[in-house]
Amino acid sequence: MTAPIDVFVFGDRENAAWDAFAPRFQIVDAGAEFTGGPQLNALVEASQSEFLAFVAEAAEEFPAVLEQLGERMQGSAELQAVLPVGRDDEISKWIWEEFPAQLATLIQPAATLHAALIRKDALTKFGPFRDVDEPLWDWFMTIAQTNPAAIASCECEATIPAGQLELPALAPAEPLPDRDWLRKRLYEVAPAGSALLAGLLQVHDYLDESHSVSQNMEDTALGDHWHGIMHRREPDYSNAKYWYRRIGQSPLFPELAQHADRILTAQKSAAAEQQRHKLRTPRDWDAFAFIDFCEVQSDGADDSLSEAARQIQLWEMLLLLRMSCE
């Protein structure tokens, strides 16, 4: 990339690893702590560069990632923001392949201190960063809803630190108290009372709100399925099994079984192999055995199996979101 990039560094600017960024990038000390959107707006206002990035780690992959993002952005005058997707992050790649930008940005959290690349002028076109806990992610949503063609993902030949989608908990607590802005975003984009809204709320742990939507869609395949997932995560496992009996054989189960089989096989353990047989993968899917699996792993005592259960749960949500979107 020929145009200059200002890289705003939060945290330990004295880390010698930042030397790897020079001379290709202008490293700017953004301060030891990140305080929010107004701080980012002030940094952008003071910048003289056309392109900007905000990072917190001096990861050796970042220079190559920023180069790739810059090449991607310079290849299209319409692009205002590009988000990196790591070579091993199959879930994020799938999200951006299967969903339009308006939904991908809602599903895929983008950490504020992450090596995404933006045009400075985009702050004029789409407005400044808001004072929320994840202002860059919130701003990406604004771009995607206003002009979806102005934002894109870019697969990078690197493992992106802190860039992968966080796996939803099997039995989550309440959403973070400062995430009201996110809930409002979900209601703005998804049709009221739709399976899509029930799913987006569920992915981000708004269980009560998701429950209200799915209750009003009772006796529909999508509504009952989101209802079942909600009760499994509540957790109310017997109630979840009631709703999965109503669901019967969902058309997404064969694909879910393939993902579950791959995830458990990769564990290379006797316990994972035993679980694989209980779920009857890859040729079949036992939703009731998966409810039992989630119940056993909900305390996270076995880190590897708990993570496997959370990965499988996320794939179920993503596949059902795709059906809900369609």
Task: Dump pLDDT digits (tens) for 8-46.
Answer: 888 766 667 677 676 678 888 888 888 899 999 999 999
Q: Does 35 share its domain with 151?
A: yes
Residues 6+ positions from 207 with CB-CB distance below 8 Å: 172, 201, 230, 233, 234
Kindly state the tokens that stand for 109: 């959290």
- With 60 as the cut, is the pLDDT of residue 162 above it? no
On whether residue 146 sits in a domain, the answer given is: yes
Last residue in a domain, options 122, 155, 188? 155
Q: Does 203 share its domain with 285?
A: yes
On whether residue 127 sits in a domain, the answer given is: yes
Q: Does 142 share its domain with 193?
A: no
Mean pLDDT of 186-195: 95
On whether residue 161 sits in a domain, the answer given is: no
Last residue in a domain, options 121, 155, 189? 155
- With 90 as the cut, is the pLDDT of residue 205 above it? yes
Looking at residue 159, its pLDDT comes to 66
Give the range among 54-63, 233-242, 315-324 with minimum mean pLDDT.
54-63
Question: What's the total number of domains in the chain?
Answer: 2
Q: Please report the beta strands in 32-168, taking only residues with DSSP state E, as ranges in sequence order.
A: 51-55, 81-85, 114-119, 151-155
Do 205 and 179 contact (CB within 8 A), yes or no? no
On whether residue 175 sits in a domain, the answer given is: no
On whether residue 190 sits in a domain, the answer given is: yes
On whether residue 169 sits in a domain, the answer given is: no
Q: Does 94 share its domain with 226?
A: no
Task: Please give the residue range of the domain that contains residue 70.
Answer: 5-155
- With 90 as the cut, is the pLDDT of residue 248 above it? yes
Mean pLDDT of 48-61: 83
- With 80 as the cut, is the pLDDT of residue 163 above it? no
Q: Quote the mean pLDDT of the chain.
A: 91
Do 279 and 258 contact (CB within 8 A), yes or no? no
Task: Give 100: exposed, middle or buried? Use CB within 10 Å, 0-12, 13-18, 19+.
Answer: exposed
On whether residue 76 sits in a domain, the answer given is: yes
Mean pLDDT of 269-274: 96
CA gyration radius for the chain? 21
Q: Does 9 share its domain with 151?
A: yes
Mean pLDDT of 44-71: 86
On whether residue 49 sits in a domain, the answer given is: yes
Looking at residue 257, its pLDDT comes to 98
Give the range among 1-5, 152-156, 263-267 with minimum mean pLDDT.
1-5
Q: Does 273 share its domain with 217?
A: yes
Q: Does 124 share its domain with 220?
A: no
Closest CA to 322 of 142, 152, 168, 200: 200
> CATH number for the domain including 23?
3.90.550.10
Q: Does 18 share its domain with 83?
A: yes
Looking at residue 211, its pLDDT comes to 97
Closest CA to 324 of 208, 234, 189: 189
Q: Does 133 share its domain with 214?
A: no
